[in-house]
Structure 1
């Protein structure tokens, strides 16, 4: 297996995770995909570009290189469902619209998928765990921002149009309530954008597993509607005119996370 992730170590107690930004495919997955899946429509498109300012802020950043069609880094390794109703698993079998992901009989084998778990999923999570431990040891606390995006209309997964900013804290279990309140406040003041806290997307495995306020690790997931920064149809073009104002809100959200951390953990 070649490069499975990229990692940048920052200077502040904030780690940004991008588990669904990858575009690489293994031969078995590439050869087995149905035609509508070959453009990788369920990717969190352009997330590294959208958050490119994060390094300037001083955040650490970890991003996946492999597509979620190979293995979903935001699902537990035992593949237990995270949500009631329609969802996708550790080894996705369907597109977000509900259609089969692979041609009949051409999904990767059990042995191939076991290799993906060991060679792609585990290195990503080992990196997350090590960096969060380093941040907590260095600063006394750690802040985790799990960065995602999704098409604003997917009837198979949710009704109607998704709000622009979908904050998830696993119903308050993954971060301090005051931090969640401040983030909601930023979204509420962002003119022209809608938001929700713990709506359809409450946080996936990364938010739920690593967020532990009692141990001074606070995790938030943001599921961003792709209509706020790109074209949602192929070829999924980045829209600078939409992205710039959205980046301004994202920067304010991350600065709010950092400011809250300094206040909560002075010295």
Structure 2
């Protein structure tokens, strides 16, 4: 069954959706995106994703699409039209197309391209991986310097995923100047004693919406949070580790570069945070 997607003001069957070959997202990776989870037919952390989208657009001097103020309605309509109970809504904005290839930005009268589509993920919150944990490898972080902007420049993270797959792992943590930055599509954490440690916000990492919520819930649950850089060596000696993202929520990490983390089994902190996050997010879903 064909999905209904949204392209520049129109709801269309996916096979009829088209944008110009001169769109700058295709030619220059000149675009930004967001991913919002859907649980029980409702959107998780929608407002946080919208705020971050606006920040990304501003950082790149990109115009907001005309439908920016209607994004909640568009998300809801796609969830309804595609009968999504659990899944994801992807949103992408590009600078648009001026009709030919040019390194210089097109004039301000060129309208941005706005595309949204859904992915159906039954049982998204009940992932078997959350019960057994995932394995990661470490790789050199070779991305550009503005990782705080959620752009569509995803080639190196894709390469990292493939490196992990080739090594029999699930994901890769990227390392720069000896310190872990983040996972290929997620924020990274370790747990030592009663302290949750994750890299501080800067241009070096994505300012995760799930990250912000999880850290807030952790503090409300009287857990100690320390935002600082850490090495892979420190991570391998941690009691626990986990990742967060809009599509994985809170996911335990049980092995790094072939070395078990802690006991090599899922610990107690990550599952508790996952439980809190899902409970509280469902309450606030729209």
- Pairwise same-fold verdict (TM > 0.5): no
**Structure 2 length-normalised TM:** 0.27
Which of structures 1 and 2 has the bigger CA Rg? 2
Report which of the two has the higher share of strand: 2
Higher relative contact order (CA 8 A, sep 6+): 1
**Structure 1 length-normalised TM:** 0.29
Report which of the two has the higher share of helix: 1
